[in-house]
């Protein structure tokens, strides 16, 4: 099919838009741009006047920008696709074969917009054939399309269009002389650095186009065209039309820091959160967070879309070096922004409380608290004393020690419980600012006898019975107690072994007996007592006539050495004639007693219920001399002074070599069977250990909190180096000790 000249020119100079960009067509900015092209005139012929001087074109210009918006100073990329101008216009359809049209070249001049650094503009073709090139000329990009064949004449070194086939073919001659088809101008890839300010735009304007057309056609009287590389310029109707506008963005980044805690103790954790937000109007890339004080909150979030945020969480374990305040500030950065700092979050850090060991000392088995027990923390490395503390009235103790591993050793200074380790022993680990728990339980060395005293036959409880224990071997008096109104009693603090137990009705209405129902010791059965156990021993006393009373036996019981009044001393009156029970009572706090008896003669016996004074028959006779005891005649006053059967150890503990008193030192008196008593030195270094039975002892002194070496008096390193000393009843033995640092 023959093509008209109008159709040929339409193909030659391309009416369609060809998009060859890295982005999909949907992402490209395509804008219709009206052009006006100045056509060359025909040289003659009847149809020459039909060719207009200009032709209007409406072509689409495609420019793909990335990114959009773009950061100030950033790099922007464009894919530029420009069409061939459609010059067909209203050319007449002459109805004859046209043959080949030849083009010498096509130049598309694209202005480079303001806001780009001209010197940074880099433009390439994609693809990059031999017949097309792009270059920057001043403030323009020039796309030049021309055959690279070296010889140029009417039919060589050109672009040719076969107007007589459908569809029209367009070919360009390669350097080797071959003709290859073309149907597009390659896409132009442009990269440039942005110089525009934030908030401004980079506005691309339409290009101008010029084609050099070579075409010769002569039909006598009809048409005479002699276009010899004639310029055919096309200019945009509105040179200031905006084809595409790239926003120079306002990249912005914010970073905030927060903490879950407002205050912690050194050693505790602080939970931090660092939040980075894209607060600008463009995507951010290469986002990073640095946080010197909290490295765990540093990171590389990467890319952030507009409005997006990311939170980095971390934990910081505080140390004493953070006291009094832990402060944290993070910094965020991106490829598009300058570094920005966060707020400063301050967390109060207090010094940890003292580390140590605390707990409650109890009696094994019963769980009864042991007030006054001593607890020592021993270093596991060498068993040296790191610290110590006495238990309070509830058995609670607390010893301050530095972080480390310890054994816990407990002592009952009364000597009534076995000293020993907590556990097997158990290692107690102490950390900074933490008080570890250790609850020692000491095995008791004493037992008890408990029961109920009733009336034989009726079973009626005997109120306030006096219960007395005697040594199971010697029958010597030990301790006594008074039961309650229901006849129940508990005779405590008895050593393991056999004990005779006697029962007395203080009202004199029942016969006194020894367990189980004997009127005397020789016929009685001893009660076996085990440490930590209560042995049951009930008594049923026969009735007897009650002394009618009417006369008074009274007096005061004191310590024969000090003259101090003695309370809780049992006073028993026996009829002198037959030693039968008359009355019994207990001294009050002033040491006074009073017995309501009938007139007559009586034997009086005095028994200190605590066992710390000798039992005595009036006046001054030992417990085994009832037959020699003096009688008293009621009414009368009978005062008595009881001899103490225990002595006292006292002295002063000082520092070696300064001689300064040592407060808080532990002094332990060691008897034949173990610990007999102990005391803690006062501020002046003095101590007193009363209630020691007469005998031979050794002593050891420790400084649990001062770091001085433990010694065995005098200045011995161990028990074998200790020197024995005597404790006499009613006397005070003085030993002083000086302790030195290792």
Mean pLDDT across the chain: 90
Element (H, E) at 8: helix 5-12
Quick: pLDDT tens for 208-262: 999 898 878 777 767 787 888 889 898 999 999 998 899 999 999 999 999 999 9
DSSP line for 622-677: ETT-GGGPPEEEESEE--EEEPB-EEEEEEEEEEETT--B-TT-EEEEEETTEEEE
Quick: pLDDT tens for 547-559: 999 999 999 999 9
Do 163 and 36 share a structural domain? yes
Quick: pLDDT tens for 26-42: 345 788 989 888 888 87
For residues 20 and 143, is the Cβ–Cβ distance under 8 A?
no
Do 270 and 134 share a structural domain? no
DSSP line for 317-384: E--GGG-SEEEE--EEE-SSS--EE-PPEEEEEEPPPPPEEEEE-EETTT--B-TT-EEEEEETTT--
What does the pLDDT read at residue 211? 87
Handedness of CA 113, 118, 124, 130 (dihedral sign): positive
The answer as to whether 57 is a domain residue is: yes
What does the pLDDT read at residue 15? 35
For residues 419 and 453, is the Cβ–Cβ distance under 8 A?
no
Do 259 and 345 share a structural domain? yes
What does the pLDDT read at residue 506? 98
Measured CA to CA, the distance from residue 573 to residue 466 in angstroms comes to: 13
At residue 60's C-alpha, the angle toward residues 10 and 134, to 5°, is: 85
| Span 647-655, average pLDDT | 97
- Residue 352 scores a pLDDT above 90: no
Measured CA to CA, the distance from residue 274 to residue 297 in angstroms comes to: 6
- The bridge status of strand 340-341 relative to strand 331-333 is antiparallel
Measured CA to CA, the distance from residue 66 to residue 373 in angstroms comes to: 83
For residues 206 and 61, is the Cβ–Cβ distance under 8 A?
yes
What does the pLDDT read at residue 86? 53
| Span 633-662, average pLDDT | 97
Measured CA to CA, the distance from residue 642 to residue 612 in angstroms comes to: 10
The answer as to whether 421 is a domain residue is: yes
For residues 596 and 549, is the Cβ–Cβ distance under 8 A?
yes
DSSP line for 123-148: EEEES--TTEEEEEETTEEEEEE---
The answer as to whether 218 is a domain residue is: yes
Do 324 and 217 share a structural domain? no
Do 531 and 409 share a structural domain? no
| Span 378-382, average pLDDT | 94
Q: What are the helix and strand counts (H, E) for the chain? A: 1, 63
Select from 642, 677, 694 the last residue of a domain: 642
Q: Which is nearest to 35 in space by CA: 102, 74, 68, 82? A: 82
Do 450 and 318 share a structural domain? no
CB atoms near residue 721 (< 10 Å)? 13
Select from 642, 662, 696 the last residue of a domain: 642
Measured CA to CA, the distance from residue 365 to residue 441 in angstroms comes to: 8
The answer as to whether 416 is a domain residue is: yes
CB atoms near residue 164 (< 10 Å)? 15
Element (H, E) at 447: strand 446-455
- Residue 23 scores a pLDDT above 60: no
Measured CA to CA, the distance from residue 347 to residue 324 in angstroms comes to: 9
What does the pLDDT read at residue 4? 34
Say which range, 4-18, 482-496, 620-634, has the weakest mean pLDDT: 4-18
Query: What is the CATH classification number for the domain harbouring 486?
Result: 2.60.40.10
The answer as to whether 19 is a domain residue is: yes
Do 572 and 536 share a structural domain? no
CB atoms near residue 89 (< 10 Å)? 17
Measured CA to CA, the distance from residue 607 to residue 160 in angstroms comes to: 144
| Span 679-701, average pLDDT | 96
Measured CA to CA, the distance from residue 85 to residue 34 in angstroms comes to: 10
Do 263 and 212 share a structural domain? no
Do 64 and 213 share a structural domain? yes
Measured CA to CA, the distance from residue 411 to residue 418 in angstroms comes to: 7
**Torsions phi, psi of 135, nearest 5?**
-150, 155
Do 602 and 517 share a structural domain? no
CA atoms within 13 A on the CB side of 718: 1
Asked if the peptide bond before residue 366 counts as cis, ω within 30 degrees of 0, the response is: no
The answer as to whether 691 is a domain residue is: yes
Domain that holds residue 141: 5-247
Tally of domains in the chain: 6
Do 240 and 197 share a structural domain? yes
The answer as to whether 546 is a domain residue is: no
Q: What is the DSSP letter of 5?
A: H
CB atoms near residue 305 (< 10 Å)? 10
Quick: pLDDT tens for 463-478: 999 999 999 999 999 9
Measured CA to CA, the distance from residue 521 to residue 427 in angstroms comes to: 51
Element (H, E) at 719: none
| Span 699-709, average pLDDT | 93
Sheet holding 263-265, edge to edge: 263-265, 345-350, 325-328
The pLDDT > 90 percentage for the chain reads 76
Select from 247, 267, 293 the last residue of a domain: 247
**Torsions phi, psi of 186, nearest 5?**
-55, 150
Quick: pLDDT tens for 90-142: 455 656 666 788 889 999 999 999 999 999 999 999 999 999 999 999 999 99
Strand residues in 194-320 grouped as ranges (E): 201-204, 208-219, 223-236, 244-247, 253-259, 263-265, 269-278, 284-290, 299-304, 309-317
CB atoms near residue 199 (< 10 Å)? 12
The answer as to whether 699 is a domain residue is: yes
Measured CA to CA, the distance from residue 443 to residue 530 in angstroms comes to: 12
At residue 739's C-alpha, the angle toward residues 733 and 742, to 5°, is: 155
For residues 112 and 202, is the Cβ–Cβ distance under 8 A?
no
Do 178 and 205 share a structural domain? yes
CB atoms near residue 289 (< 10 Å)? 20
Measured CA to CA, the distance from residue 117 to residue 139 in angstroms comes to: 10
Measured CA to CA, the distance from residue 738 to residue 742 in angstroms comes to: 13
Quick: pLDDT tens for 304-331: 999 999 999 999 999 989 999 999 999 9
């Amino acid at each position: 099919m023959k093509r008209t000249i109008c159709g040929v020119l339409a193909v030659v100079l391309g009416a369609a838009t060809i998009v060859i960009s890295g982005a999909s067509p949907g992402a490209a900015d395509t804008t219709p741009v009206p052009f006006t092209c100045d056509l060359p005139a025909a040289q003659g012929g009847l149809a020459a006047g039909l060719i207009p001087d200009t032709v209007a074109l409406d072509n689409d210009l495609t420019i793909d920008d990335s990114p959009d918006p773009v950061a100030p100073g950033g790099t922007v990329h464009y894919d530029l696709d420009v069409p061939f101008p459609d010059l067909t216009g209203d050319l007449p359809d002459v109805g004859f074969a046209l043959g080949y049209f030849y083009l010498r070249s096509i130049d598309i001049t694209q202005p480079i917009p303001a806001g780009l650094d001209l010197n940074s503009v880099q433009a390439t073709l994609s693809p990059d054939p031999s017949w097309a090139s792009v270059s920057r000329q001043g403030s323009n990009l020039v796309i030049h399309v021309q055959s690279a064949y070296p010889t140029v004449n009417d039919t060589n070194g050109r672009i040719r269009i076969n107007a007589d086939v459908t569809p029209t073919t367009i070919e360009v001659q390669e350097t080797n002389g071959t003709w290859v088809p073309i149907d597009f101008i390659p896409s132009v890839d442009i990269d440039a650095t942005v110089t525009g300010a934030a908030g401004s735009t980079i506005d691309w304007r339409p290009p101008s186009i010029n084609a050099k057309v070579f075409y010769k056609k002569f039909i006598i009287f009809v048409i005479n065209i002699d276009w010899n590389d004639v310029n055919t310029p096309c200019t945009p109707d509105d040179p200031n039309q905006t084809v595409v506008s790239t926003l120079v963005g306002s990249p912005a980044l914010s970073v905030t820091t927060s903490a879950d805690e407002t205050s912690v103790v050194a050693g505790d954790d602080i939970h931090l959160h660092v939040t980075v937000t894209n607060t600008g109007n463009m995507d951010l890339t290469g986002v990073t967070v640095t946080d010197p004080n909290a490295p765990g909150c540093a990171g590389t979030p990467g890319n952030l879309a507009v409005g997006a945020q990311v939170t980095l969480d971390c934990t910081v374990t505080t140390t004493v070096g953070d006291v009094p305040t832990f402060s944290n500030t993070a910094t965020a950065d991106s490829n598009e922004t300058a570094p920005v700092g966060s707020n400063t979050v301050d967390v109060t850090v207090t010094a940890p409380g003292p580390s140590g060991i605390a707990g409650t000392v109890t009696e094994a088995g019963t769980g009864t608290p042991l007030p006054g027990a001593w607890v020592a923390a021993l270093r596991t490395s060498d068993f040296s004393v790191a610290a110590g503390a006495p238990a309070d009235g509830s058995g609670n103790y607390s010893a301050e020690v530095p972080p480390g591993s310890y054994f816990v050793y407990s002592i009952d200074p009364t000597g009534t419980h076995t000293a020993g380790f907590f556990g097997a022993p158990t290692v107690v680990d102490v950390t900074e600012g933490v008080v570890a728990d250790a609850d020692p339980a000491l095995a008791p060395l004493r037992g008890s006898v408990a029961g109920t005293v009733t009336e034989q036959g009726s079973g009626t409880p005997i109120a306030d019975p006096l219960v007395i224990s005697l040594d199971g071997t010697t029958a010597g008096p030990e301790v006594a107690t008074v039961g309650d109104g229901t006849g129940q009693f508990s005779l405590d603090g008895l050593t393991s072994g056999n004990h005779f137990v006697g029962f007395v009705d203080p009202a004199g209405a029942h016969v006194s007996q020894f367990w189980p129902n004997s009127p005397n010791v020789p016929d009685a059965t001893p009660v076996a007592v085990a440490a930590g156990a209560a042995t049951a021993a009930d008594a049923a006393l026969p009735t007897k006539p009650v002394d009618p009373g009417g006369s008074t036996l009274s007096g005061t019981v004191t310590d024969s050495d000090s003259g101090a009044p003695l309370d809780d001393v049992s006073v028993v009156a026996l009829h002198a004639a037959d030693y039968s029970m008359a009355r019994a009572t207990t001294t009050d706090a002033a040491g006074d007693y009073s017995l309501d008896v009938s007139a007559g003669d009586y034997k009086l016996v005095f028994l200190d219920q605590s066992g710390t004074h000798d039992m005595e028959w009036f006046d001054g006779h030992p417990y085994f001399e009832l037959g020699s005891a003096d009688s008293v005649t009621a009414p009368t006053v009978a005062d008595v002074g009881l001899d103490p059967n225990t002595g006292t150890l006292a002295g002063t503990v000082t520092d070696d070599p300064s001689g300064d008193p040592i407060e808080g030192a532990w002094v332990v008196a060691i008897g034949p069977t173990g610990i007999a008593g102990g005391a803690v030195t006062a501020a002046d270094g003095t101590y007193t250990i009363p209630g020691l039975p007469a005998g031979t002892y050794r002593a050891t002194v420790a400084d649990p909190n001062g770091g001085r070496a433990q010694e065995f008096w005098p200045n011995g390193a161990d028990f074998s180096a200790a020197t024995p000393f005597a404790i006499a009843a009613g006397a005070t033995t003085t030993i002083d000790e000086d302790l030195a640092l290792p």
